[in-house]
Amino acid sequence: MIVGIDLGTTNSLVAVWRNGAPELVPNALESLLTPSVVGLDDEGRVLVGQAAKERLQTHPQLTAALFKRHMGSAHELRLGTRSFRPEELSALVLRSLKADVERRYGETVTEAVISVPAYFNDAQRKATKIAGELAGLKVERLINEPTAAALAYGLHQRDSASSFLVFDLGGGTFDVSILELFDGVMEVRASAGDNFLGGEDFDTVLVQAFVAAHANRSDMPSLTEPNIAHRLRREAERVRHALGQADSATFVLRHGSGQWEQTFTQAQLAELCAPLLVRLRTPIETALRDARIRPSELDEVLLVGGTTRMPMIRRMVAGLFGRFPSIALNPDESIALGAAVQAALKARDAALEEVVLTDVCPYTLGIEVAVSVGESTQAGHYLPIIERNCVVPVSRVKTVSTLRHHQRVVQLKIYQGESRWVKENIYLGEMDIEVPVAPAGEISIDVRFTYDNNGLLEAEALINRTGERRILVIENNPGVLDPEEVRKRLAALANLKIHPREQQVNSLLNARLERLYQESLGDLRQRLDHMANRFQQVLDTQNDRAIRELRLQLTQQLDELEQGLWR
């Protein structure tokens, strides 16, 4: 069975193609969104999703989140005594989603289409593929998130030629893509984005405004106190969401015997966030320019990503494009649905008309060269080979020559980026090519870059004098695991014990009680302690019905508590 997966920074979702349509699959907690959070429980077993998210605050040393940001790097995150690479943590999320589908349909999931941000570089894409492998999934295809969104909207089924812009603002990143459909071919014309702009930046602005408003109160807890920064961010996010429904919302921080409050209105939020809205414009302008399209020529603007729920963002998009954006689909869900459409296209489902998808390489790929400047040579220059927004698959060649007499080796260093100088671009890897000994400049090498449908780069060198051709493996990229390492990590992951799926609902309630206990004081704390004890007693009886009833009752009470009804 093949599935479509949105492996997100904050949340992940899985969808399957059934009866001619994509369908999201709920997890063990009956939720469609599985937080991309991995932790170890008190017995050292792996816990994924909402229960792990609840433990972020109470057990920070045993929990990891936001690891998608480190994909394609060698950055390891610690859980207890073990370190994990970002692709291993992603693999644990993928395994959990795979188990959800298998439990529901009783079939083994063997393959997946996984979405990646259009802006993901070569190392990040390779890491995503490896995460799939580590989860026991053959990654049939990596699909760019905006392309997946367009598929979810069924844009590939339109009769007439049309152009769309996908505006994807998630928790931490912003992507804009322009797609064109023509004669059954859907082509991404341009992609641009900002990898450090998303809902969390709006939260930061609110936290700063809250802290500034209380700057003259000396009893305000310091941001360096454990948990305070985390709690302020959670509260900022809650207030930001609430301001989508109401004109005003109150930011509350309780700590020790003190309580600090600040009410924000929608208008204040808009004013505070104005600089962020300005930053959103740059990638939009770049994408429109690269695609050579005017806003009025767009047939549709699609909103994707949780942060596009903010009314302020919708107003801005409407103003910018002179029309209301499409909101037919839930902005959290469209990418996974589109990945499932792509999975069905792969499996050639009869319900889908043949549609050819083409994508672009969103950034320039090139190598380092030295350039003659007067008498001397200057190293560190960038020679672009594939330029940004070329339709993929694409293959391009540039020729380079030896620089010194009797040079034995030509070193090719590969970079991604738009600067003239390699030091300002992203290093992807390098390789050494042995060449015949000859005077400077006499040996030339054709360097061919091929960028495939999955956005993966392959390089080939042809030494013209000898006709020797070499397919080059990009090495020395610490962000990409080699096959031997993958094998070892696969074996290590197989030894990890997984928190039992059927216990997840109870673990979630326990983790939530623990977090709220830590956050509160006095009477409330006693009440939470009492609830936790009661729940433990019922769990000990192993009476499923009693457990379920009490769990529902306590969950409802905690919901009320968190919605502020007990304030």
The string over 163-185, giving b where at least 16 C-beta atoms fall within 10 Å of a residue's C-beta and e elsewhere, is bbbbbbbbbbbbbbbbbbbeeee
* Residue 539 tokens, joined: 């769990």
User: Does the annotation count 168 as an active-site position?
Assistant: yes
Beta strands 356-361 and 365-373 are: unpaired
**Applying CB under 6 A, which of residues 2, 4, 9, 445 lies at the interface with ligand AMP?**
9
**Applying CB under 6 A, which of residues 240, 512, 515, 551 lies at the interface with ligand AMP?**
240
DSSP helix/strand/coil, 220: coil
d(CA 277, CA 273): 7
d(CA 376, CA 435): 23
Q: Does 238 bind ligand AMP (CB under 6 A)?
A: no
Active-site position among 87, 140, 145, 368: 145
Beta strands 46-48 and 37-40 are: antiparallel
**Closer of 231 and 240 to ligand AMP (Cβ):** 240
Q: Does 171 bind ligand AMP (CB under 6 A)?
A: yes
Site string for ligand AMP, 321-340 (x = CB under 6 A): -----------x--------
**CB neighbours of 122 closer than 8 A, spacing ≥ 6?**
72, 365, 416, 428, 455, 456, 457, 474
Q: How many residues bind ligand AMP (CB under 6 A)?
A: 19
Residue among 226, 121, 93, 116 nearest 170 (CA): 116
Residue span binding ligand AMP (CB under 6 A) among the ranges 149-157, 233-241, 274-282, 505-513: 233-241
Q: Does 309 bind ligand AMP (CB under 6 A)?
A: yes
**Closer of 332 and 359 to ligand AMP (Cβ):** 332
d(CA 519, CA 514): 9
User: Shortest distance, CB of residue 381 to ligand AMP, whole angstroms?
Assistant: 37
Half-sphere exposure at residue 220, Cβ-oriented, CA atoms within 13 angstroms: 16
Residue span binding ligand AMP (CB under 6 A) among the ranges 135-143, 282-290, 302-310, 484-492: 302-310
Q: Does 175 bind ligand AMP (CB under 6 A)?
A: no
* Residue 164 tokens, joined: 């769309």
Residue span binding ligand AMP (CB under 6 A) among the ranges 248-256, 264-272, 277-285, 303-311: 303-311
User: Does the annotation count 187 as an active-site position?
Assistant: no
d(CA 181, CA 155): 8
User: Shortest distance, CB of residue 203 to ligand AMP, whole angstroms?
Assistant: 7
Active-site position among 168, 300, 359, 519: 168
User: Does the annotation count 183 as an active-site position?
Assistant: no
Question: DSSP label at 324?
Answer: P
Q: Does 241 bind ligand AMP (CB under 6 A)?
A: yes
**Applying CB under 6 A, which of residues 237, 446, 458, 514 lies at the interface with ligand AMP?**
237
Site string for ligand AMP, 184-223 (x = CB under 6 A): --------------xxx-----------------------
User: Does the annotation count 53 as an active-site position?
Assistant: no
**CB neighbours of 429 closer than 8 A, spacing ≥ 6?**
123, 413, 414, 474, 475, 476, 477, 480
Residue among 113, 129, 67, 87 nearest 457 (CA): 129
Q: Does 307 bind ligand AMP (CB under 6 A)?
A: yes
Active site residues: 6, 68, 145, 168
Q: Where do contacts with ligand AMP occur on this chain (CB under 6 A)?
A: 8-11, 170-171, 198-200, 237, 240-241, 244, 305-307, 309-310, 332
